[in-house]
Amino acid sequence: MAMTYRPVDREQEFLLPPSMIDWLPEEHLVWFVIEAVNRLDTTGFHRLAKLGGVGRRGYDPDMLLTLFIYAMAHGESSSRRIERLCHTDVAFRVICAQDAPDHTVLARFRKNHEAALTGLLTESLVLAAELGMVSLGVVAFDGTKIAANASRDANRGEAHLRRLAEKFVDTLAETDEAEDTLFGEDNRGDELPPKVTDRSHRKERIEQALEQINARREQAERAEAEQAERARAYEQRAAEAGAAAPVGRPPANADPVAVAKARWQRERAKAAERYQQWQRARERGEPQRGGRPAVPPDEFHRVRKARAAYETAQSEAATAQAGNTDDNGPAATTAADANGDGEPTTPSKPGQRVRANLTDPDSRLLKTRNGWVQGYNCQTATSDDEFIVSARATQDAGDVKQFIPTKDDVTATAQTLAERTGRDDLQVGTMIGDAGYDSDDNLAAEGPDRLIADGKRHTIDQRAATDPATGDPPEPAHARR
C-alpha cells in the first residue's frame, strides 16, 4: 500500500467540459425513467403550456414529469424536498439538466395536471406490459389511512357551520351599509375592510362543508334503509320453522334474539350432522377417532351454550320491552338531547353528530390502529410482480365496501392492457384481501376468483385445528362455505 492517501483537491478545475452522461453509470434507474417518459404519451401535460408569447420561458413538462416519477420511485412527495434534491442529488440534477425548478413550479404542475397524472398510471403499466412485465395471476389489494393536509380540530357540526355562514353574510351586509353611509350608494370606494377580505375562500369552504354534511346524511339514510331490509330478511329466515339457519355475519341492527336463535340453530345442525355420522360409522363397525362416543345434539356443549345465550337474549328483550312502555320516560330521549347541542345526527348512529372539516371538507376523521387521523382511506391493488394496477383515495372509514370498486378497476385495467399490448395472458387470476373486505356481497360478486380472510389469523388457525374442513362443500353451497 502507498505511503500516502489519494489527494482531495476540491479546487481542481476540469480540463475538458464535463458531460452529465458520465456522471452516472449506464445501468442507473434515472436513464430508464428518462427513456420511459420519452416513450409515453405526454400530450396531456402540454395542453396548458403557454408558448409563443413574451416573458420568461417555462420548464419542459416532460422534464417536470420525469422529476415526479423519479421522486415517487424514491418515496419523495414534497415539492420543497424535490427542489433541494435538484441542487444536491446527481440523478435529480441530471433530470433537470442543472436548471432546478422552484418548489412552487412543482406544486402548480402537480395541481394543474391531476387528471393527466392519474392517466399516467395506465400508460406506465402499458409500457411495462409491452416489455413483458406485469403478471396478473395473483393481485393483492388493501387499504391504508393517509393523513390529509387538514387539522382534526377544524371539524365542525352543521349548526356551527350555519352560524358561521350567517355571521359571514351579516358581516357583509353590515359592511355594505357602512360603505353606503361613508361613500354614498352610487360610489364604489377602494377596498373592503380586512375582516371580510376572503383570500382563503372561507365562504366557499363553509358551503362545501354543508354540502358534504347533507350528502353524508342522505347516504346514511339510504344505508340505514338497506341495513334494515337485510335485518328483516335475516330475522325472517331465523324465525322460519325447519328452515336452514342464516349463515354469515348478522346485520348490525338485527334483533339480538334472532341472532342468538340463528347461532343456536347452526350449532345444533352441525352437532346433529356429526352425531348422525358417528351413528352410521358405528353401525358399519368402523373404528371411532378419539375413542369417545358422540353425544346427542342437544347435549353437545356448544349447543347448550348457544341455547343459553338465546334464552338470555329472550329474557333481556322482554325486560327491555317492559321498561319502555312509558313513552314519556327517560327512554324517550331524543338524539338531539343526547347530542347536547341540538345538532342533527346520522340516522344509523343516534347521538353522533354529522361533521365536516373546514380546512379540507372532502377529508374524514378515520380511526387507525395508532389513533384517529384526519384524512383518506387509500385503496391499492398490486400485481404479483409488484406493479400497482389500481389506486384510489376514498372517504370510507372501512374497507368492506371498497372491494367491488377495486375489483372493477383491476379488471378494467387488465382489459385495457390486453387491448393495448395484444397479450393474451393479462387475465386476473386470484385476488387476495384481508378480513376487512369480508362480506357475503363481496364473496358472491361476479368477477375473478378471490380469497378473502373471514377472521383474524389466530381465529382461523384455531378453527382449522379444532374443526377442520374436509372434502368438498355440501350442495347447495353458498359463497362463504
Task: State pLDDT tens for residues 395-426.
Answer: 888 899 999 999 999 999 999 888 888 888 88
Q: What does the pLDDT average to over 333-348?
A: 43
Closest CA to 434 of 387, 392, 400, 468: 400
Question: What CATH number is associated with residue 431?
Answer: 3.30.420
Indicate if 280 and 380 belong to the same structural domain.
no
Average pLDDT, the chain: 77
Q: How many CB atoms lie within 10 A of CB 131?
A: 10
Number of residues that make up the chain: 481
Residue 429 pLDDT > 80, yes or no? yes
Q: Is residue 371 part of a domain?
A: yes
Predicted pLDDT of residue 236:
72
The 3-state DSSP class for residue 241 equals coil
Closest CA to 136 of 424, 455, 468, 474: 424
Indicate if 473 and 373 belong to the same structural domain.
yes
Q: 467: buried, middle or exposed (CB in 10 Å: 19+, 13-18, 0-12)?
A: exposed
Task: State pLDDT tens for residues 342-397.
Answer: 444 555 454 456 676 667 778 888 888 888 888 889 999 999 888 888 888 898 88
Residue-range definition of the domain harbouring residue 274: 255-323
* Range with lowest mean pLDDT among 171-185, 297-311, 335-349: 335-349
Residue 269 pLDDT > 90, yes or no? no
Q: Is residue 416 part of a domain?
A: yes
Q: What does the pLDDT average to over 441-447?
A: 90
The rounded distance, in Å, linking the Cα atoms of 195 and 172 is 10
Final residue in a domain of this structure, among 302, 332, 359: 359
Residues in Cβ contact with 356 at an 8 Å cutoff, skipping those fewer than 6 apart: 155, 156, 158, 161, 208, 209, 210, 212, 213, 216
The rounded distance, in Å, linking the Cα atoms of 401 and 114 is 25
Work out how many domains the chain is built from and give that number: 4
Predicted pLDDT of residue 337:
39
Q: What does the pLDDT average to over 10-18?
A: 70
Residue 437 pLDDT > 90, yes or no? yes
Predicted pLDDT of residue 290:
56
The rounded distance, in Å, linking the Cα atoms of 224 and 78 is 41
59-81 as b/e, with b when 16 or more CB fall inside 10 Å?
bbbeebbbbbbbbeeeebeebee
Dihedral over Cα of 461, 467, 473, 477: its sign:
negative
Q: What does the pLDDT average to over 37-44?
A: 82
Q: What does the pLDDT average to over 452-467?
A: 87
Place of cell 324517550: 332
Predicted pLDDT of residue 87:
92
Dihedral angle over CA of 214, 220, 221, 223, nearest 10: 150
Predicted pLDDT of residue 409:
92
161-174 as b/e, with b when 16 or more CB fall inside 10 Å?
beebbeebeeeeee
What are phi and psi for residue 12, nearest 5 degrees?
Answer: -65, 125
Cell matching residue 303: 349447543
Indicate if 235 and 355 belong to the same structural domain.
yes
Task: State pLDDT tens for residues 103-129.
Answer: 888 988 888 887 787 777 777 788 778
Q: What does the pLDDT average to over 2-29?
A: 76
Residue 286 pLDDT > 60, yes or no? yes
The rounded distance, in Å, linking the Cα atoms of 25 and 449 is 44
DSSP 8-state secondary structure symbol assigned to residue 96 = T
Predicted pLDDT of residue 341:
43
Cβ pair 294, 303 in contact under 8 A: no
Final residue in a domain of this structure, among 307, 336, 359: 359
Distances in Å between the Cα of 293 and the Cα atoms of 82, 268, 290 are 72, 17, 9
Name the pLDDT band for 181 (thresholds 50, 70, 90): low
Indicate if 308 and 442 belong to the same structural domain.
no
Place of cell 313513552: 327
Q: Is residue 329 part of a domain?
A: no
Indicate if 213 and 348 belong to the same structural domain.
yes
* Range with lowest mean pLDDT among 135-139, 162-166, 270-274: 162-166
User: Got the DSSP string for 450-465?
Assistant: EEE-SS-HHHHHHHHH
Q: What does the pLDDT average to over 297-312?
A: 86
Q: Is residue 8 part of a domain?
A: no
Residue 309 pLDDT > 50, yes or no? yes
Name the pLDDT band for 92 (thresholds 50, 70, 90): very high
Q: Is residue 87 part of a domain?
A: yes
Q: Does 385 or 173 have the greater pLDDT score?
A: 385
Predicted pLDDT of residue 50:
73
Closest CA to 205 of 353, 344, 362: 362
The rounded distance, in Å, linking the Cα atoms of 259 and 213 is 33
Indicate if 295 and 434 belong to the same structural domain.
no
Indicate if 277 and 395 belong to the same structural domain.
no
Place of cell 403499466: 125
* Range with lowest mean pLDDT among 34-38, 257-261, 389-393: 257-261
Question: What percent of the chain lies above the pLDDT cut of 90?
Answer: 13
Cell matching residue 145: 389511512
Predicted pLDDT of residue 329:
46
The rounded distance, in Å, linking the Cα atoms of 361 and 138 is 36
Indicate if 416 and 480 belong to the same structural domain.
yes
Helices and strands counted in the chain (H then E): 15, 10
Name the pLDDT band for 330 (thresholds 50, 70, 90): very low
Indicate if 268 and 385 belong to the same structural domain.
no
175: left (phi over 0), alpha (psi -120 to 50) or beta: alpha
Indicate if 370 and 352 belong to the same structural domain.
no
Strands 371-382 and 138-147, sheet pairing: antiparallel
Closest CA to 179 of 169, 189, 167: 189
Name the pLDDT band for 431 (thresholds 50, 70, 90): very high
Predicted pLDDT of residue 386:
85
* Range with lowest mean pLDDT among 141-150, 195-204, 250-259: 195-204
Which residue type does 384 have? Answer: D
Indicate if 394 and 420 belong to the same structural domain.
yes
Predicted pLDDT of residue 163:
67
Q: Is residue 11 part of a domain?
A: no
Q: What does the pLDDT average to over 433-457?
A: 90
Cβ pair 429, 138 in contact under 8 A: yes
Q: Is residue 7 part of a domain?
A: no
Indicate if 214 and 351 belong to the same structural domain.
yes
Cβ pair 346, 220 in contact under 8 A: yes
Predicted pLDDT of residue 410:
93
Q: What does the pLDDT average to over 314-328?
A: 69
